[in-house]
Amino acid sequence: MFCIKDVFLYYCIKILYITRSMDAYVRKAKKRFKKLIDESQMFFELDEKEINLLKISYQKQFADLDFQIQTKSFSSVQNEIKFYKKVLVKWIKHYCLLVKYIEMTYYKPVILEESIGFYKKAISTCHQVKCDNMDLHGYYVCELTTRDEIYYVNHDPSTYASLDPTNPSYIIANFEVNEVIIPYINATIFKFKNFNDLNTTLKWTGSNTDLALLINGLVELKLINKGNCTKSEVVSAFDVMFNMKIQKQLSSLVYNFKNRKEVKDTLFDRLQLTVKVNDF
């Protein structure tokens, strides 16, 4: 039989457990966010109503998360940094991708010229995020850890909001989103600008490796836009031009060339033989 002292001790322990650990809540929240992420991976198969309901579900989870952050604390600074630097960034990234998809799909203009302007503005917005946060972007790109306690330790939990645009986790998530979305937007703009030309079907009949070599060479020699373009943008353009739909595979091949010590029987060797460069 419990005495008053035992009951008091029990409630003290219970209250301590409830309030002490953000870590325990994060473990539970991971399951809920994983479900949302799994659903959002299939947004191409969802209609507008279903996608907006998914967006609302994300927002509810973030609201609950913010409340928990305001009332609980992490068991260690290391756990807190890991959460804000890795876990939360992943959750916000998928939410932002969903929001971008909604904007690009359901709010774009119908008229072709206006659509191009709409997408150009979207690109400008993506670049502005980087320009407004150059220090954090450099820190993110270089994968540094020296200022983690400045960027990823929450010094004012009472007013915390995960989706606050000034929140470092939110900004980092948008850096990652922009890496995905900018090549897509550039490819879409290219498609709109060359709408009539693309009605003529062109097919790349060489190997994917050959095309990747060609893209790599053109970019390295700065033969496209005088070098003012990225490999991702050129990959997107070729992918659209030849209607290949293998952008991920092609990007992987292009970026893997820098890890090769030598490439035998390259496309450039065959081109050189074809045009008889040595005879000039």
**What residue segments make up the domains of the chain, in order of their start?**
26-193, 201-279
Tell me what pLDDT residue 223 has: 82
pLDDT in tens, 188-239: 888 888 765 545 567 888 877 788 788 888 888 888 887 887 777 888 888 7
pLDDT at 7 over 60: no
Tell which residue, 169, 191, 45, 179, has the closest CA to residue 100.
179
Mean of pLDDT values over 29-38: 94
Checking if the pLDDT of 273 tops 80, the result is no
pLDDT at 15: 46
> Any idea what the Cα angle at residue 206 is, between residues 204 and 207, rounded to 5°?
115
CA distance 161 to 70: 9
Q: Report the length, in residues, of the chain.
A: 280
Q: Is the pLDDT of residue 165 over 80?
A: yes
Give 114-128 pLDDT, tens digit per residue: 888 999 999 999 999
CA atoms of 246 and 225, how far apart (whole Å) = 23
Q: Which two tokens stand for residue 83?
A: 């959460």
Give per-residue pLDDT as tens, 99-119. Answer: 998 888 888 887 778 888 999
Least confident of 4-8, 69-73, 146-150, 267-271: 4-8
Mean pLDDT of the residues in the chain? 82
What is the structure's pLDDT at 19? Answer: 46
- Angle at CA of residue 66, ends 85 and 151, nearest 5°: 30
Element (H, E) at 206: none
